[in-house]
Amino acid sequence: MKNLTSSTQIVEAIQASGLKNGIVCLHSSLKSFGFLQGGADAILQAFIENGCTLVVPTFTYDCEVSTPSYRRIIQNGSDYSESFDSETAVAYDQNSPMISREMGAIPAWLLEMKARARGRHPLNSFAALGPLAEELIGAQSPLNVYGTLKAIYAHKSAAYLVLAGVNLTSATPIHFAEERAGRRLFRRWAKGIGMTLEVEVGSCSDGFNNLAPYVKNIETSIQVGQSVWKIYPFRTFIDTVARAIVQNPTVTHCADPKCIRCNDSVRGGPFL
Ligand SMILES: [Zn+2]
């Protein structure tokens, strides 16, 4: 059959690229696999059976509410004239499988797994499956959005960023590299169960493909059935990107010169 990816090809890719037993931060497009035998479940099972801890973004934008007028922070990447309808916002529940469609089918399927762990951040949660899931996910909190990524960075286990059929604009760890480069993260407000919370969030990621030349020589590109995977050693990726941002802060800026999030982020982020 044409346009087919088999689960065997995924297992072979995991083993051939040395991901076995490692921490894998996965950003993915299920569509990139063409017709995948076993669907999203085949991908999860392939990583889990190879001893990996799989970490994915499981963001929920429906939980955002307007910033209270007393908390309008300067240089916060916010257009405060825009408001969210707090009535229609959904309360975040980490035990539920709620997720924004943009996250894709693989994170959505991971949230259906009984053994998964999911972070306490109402807008930008991460979820994980595998031996280190609880430990890594437990490091995230509303005011430490990249706690999980910090825990991966600091962990003694081998760790990788895998972009399966997506490009650098999907790579959330770049926001963590921005933080390591000295940028303060924006603040937003979100609805939790029975309360409204101030939370940290990342900036605009539309310009992240500008970083491609900087990470080219730490990148392994492999064909997995129909899907092209780009694999980076996690810590080296973060350090390389953070260095590039320090040397050239505008490298992360998207193509829109008026982008308020990019402009405020390049200036260093909010005055907290
Ligand atoms: Zn932008």
Q: Give residue 46 CA to ligand 1 midpoint distance, Å.
A: 35
Strand pairing category for 220-224 and 186-192: unpaired
What tokens were used for 77? 């990447």
pLDDT in tens, the chain (272 residues): 678 899 999 999 999 999 999 999 999 999 999 999 999 999 999 999 999 999 999 999 999 999 998 999 999 999 888 777 777 899 999 999 999 999 999 999 999 999 999 999 999 999 999 999 999 999 999 999 999 999 999 999 999 999 999 999 999 999 999 999 999 999 999 999 999 999 999 999 999 999 999 999 999 999 999 999 999 999 999 999 999 999 999 999 999 999 999 999 999 999 99
User: Separation of 203 CA from ligand 1 center, angstroms?
Assistant: 8
Structure token pair of residue 34: 């063409």
| Domain extent listing, the chain | 4-266
DSSP state of 210: G
Cα(177) to centroid(ligand 1), Å: 16
Cα of 257 to ligand 1 centre, how many Å? 8
pLDDT at 81: 82
Q: How far is the CA of 102 from the centre of ligand 1 (A)?
A: 18
**What percent of the chain is helix, strand and coil (3-state, nearest 5)?**
35, 20, 40
Considering only CA atoms, which of 268, 257, 236, 253 is closest in space to residue 76? 268
Q: pTM score, two decimals?
A: 0.97
Other beta carbons less than 10 A from residue 237's beta carbon? 26
Give the span between the Cα atoms of 195 and 177, in whole angstroms: 30
Cβ-contact 164, 221 below 8 angstroms = no
